[in-house]
Amino acid sequence: MKALLTICAVAVVALFTTMLARAEVLQELPPDIQKAYEGLDPKTPVGASMLSDFKPKKGPPWTIGFASSYAGNTWRAAAMDRLMNVLVPEAKEAGLVKDIVITQSDLKDAVQIQQIRQLVDQGVDIIILCCSNPTALNQSIKYAYDKGVPVISYDGFVTAPEALSVTPNFVDGGYQIAKSVIEKMGGKGNLLYVSGIAGLNTSDSFDTGALKAIAEHPDIKLIGTVQGNWTDQIAQVEVQKFLATHPETVDGIVLQSPSEIGVIQALLQSGRPVPPISLQGEFGAACYWKEHPEIADVGFYLYPPASEIYFGWNAALRVLQGQGPKIQTIARQVMKYTLEENNSQLPEDCKIDDQRWLEPKAEDWFPNSLANQVFARPSDPLTWKPQN
């Protein structure tokens, strides 16, 4: 009985200390950086990073593993283009990276689990993941950590305590984006919501934020929700189906990108006016905005593909350099862009079927001011020199 009590007491104390430690790391960050964590998905780990004292076994130069989950849309293509044509060459030139090994799991978690383990056994120095299932890979991330291979998840978090996640705040992003459309609508009218992929974490987080904004405005009537599957063609068909069966006016559309140009085309085909709509950087939709400035006041970068992979890549190099992340998740807020900035990135004769993406400056997406706060021994990865 006594032993049981002691165990209980120890457990309680341990629980409190971890809770305190968890709260402390976040509270030590400057208030403006803490803001990015507000409303973040409650399962996102924000405790002290287990990689704070990590040192690689060897190198530089390092071999990087990229266990990608999918490669079949414009978003992934834009990210891969930045990785292979800019990030890897410049890191090779700086003598930091020897090779990159990329695997694709075609959205099958079991295959991604196999590939993570395979990359570890193959001897890569670090593994980068993109926007994966937040819980399914945890055992494999632990497997990698136990063998001295850290895992960085970008554009979405994983709940494994061993990993470092770098992610935009999707909940707050969904909220801000929906709110801007609602304000443009004058706070009243019929709203259509084009969601992402049901059952995927980032999509659900965005939903949470968007629905919160809608709930705050009682005069907004949510007349329908369709799944755009983050694919223009699917969003187009789904919105067409919706419009065919709903004769009422649509006064505003909140959507998860990429789908904006599909939605705009569905409206044009059905002869409806394009109401206020949310924009997240698809070139085609940006081009439409240039010609029709009345559809939005502002655009949002929530997960610009090339900047997101820069974020993950930059963090991975810093971890390899032993810069010591302080916290398990580095979060950042949604970033607004104006119509002028939109137009300045577009070519003169832009087309609405252009597959590229608007991007913020990479340095703005993961600025040194943020990196200097979340890493214990910060230094620019490309000019960093190994000590001793």
Q: Check binding of 231 to other proteins (CB under 8 A).
A: no
Least Å distance between CB 274 and other proteins?
30
Least Å distance between CB 246 and other proteins?
22
Q: Check binding of 98 to other proteins (CB under 8 A).
A: no
Q: Pick the closer one to other proteins by CB: 133 or 342.
A: 133
E strand map for the chain: 62-68, 97-104, 126-130, 151-154, 164-168, 189-195, 220-227, 252-255, 299-301, 329-332, 335-337
Q: Check binding of 204 to other proteins (CB under 8 A).
A: yes
Q: Check binding of 103 to other proteins (CB under 8 A).
A: yes
Q: Check binding of 84 to other proteins (CB under 8 A).
A: yes
Q: Check binding of 18 to other proteins (CB under 8 A).
A: no
Q: Which of 104, 225, 343, 379 binds other proteins (CB under 8 A)?
A: 104
Q: Check binding of 106 to other proteins (CB under 8 A).
A: yes
Angle, vertex CA 292, rays to CA 361 and CA 218, nearest 5:
90
Q: Check binding of 201 to other proteins (CB under 8 A).
A: yes
Q: Which of 136, 234, 237, 346 binds other proteins (CB under 8 A)?
A: 136
Least Å distance between CB 40 and other proteins?
15
Q: Which of 44, 49, 74, 133 binds other proteins (CB under 8 A)?
A: 133
Rounded to 5 degrees, what are φ and ψ at 227?
-95, 115
Instruction: Give the residue among 286, 374, 359, 278 at the shortest CA–CA distance from 326.
Output: 374
As a whole number of angstroms, the distance between CA 66 and CA 127 comes to 6
Which DSSP state fits 83?
A: I
As a whole number of angstroms, the distance between CA 170 and CA 68 comes to 20
Q: Check binding of 306 to other proteins (CB under 8 A).
A: no
Q: Pick the closer one to other proteins by CB: 52 or 132.
A: 132
Least Å distance between CB 96 and other proteins?
19
> How deeply is 332 buried, as exposed, middle or buried, from its count of CB atoms within 10 A (0-12, 13-18, 19+)?
buried
**Per-position x/- string for 31-50, each x denoting binding to other proteins as judged by CB under 8 A, each - no binding:** ------------x-------
Q: Check binding of 70 to other proteins (CB under 8 A).
A: yes
**Per-position x/- string for 137-176, each x denoting binding to other proteins as judged by CB under 8 A, each - no binding:** xxxx-xx--x------------------------------
Q: Check binding of 234 to other proteins (CB under 8 A).
A: no
Helix (H) or strand (E) holding 309: helix 305-320
Q: Return all residues near 305 (Cβ < 8 A) that are at least 6 apart.
A: 75, 76, 78, 79, 82, 357, 359
Instruction: Give the residue among 197, 218, 215, 217 at the shortest CA–CA distance from 206.
Output: 197
Q: Which residues bind other proteins (CB under 8 A)?
A: 43, 68, 70-72, 76-77, 80, 84, 101-111, 113-115, 117-118, 121-122, 133-140, 142-143, 146, 198-201, 203-204
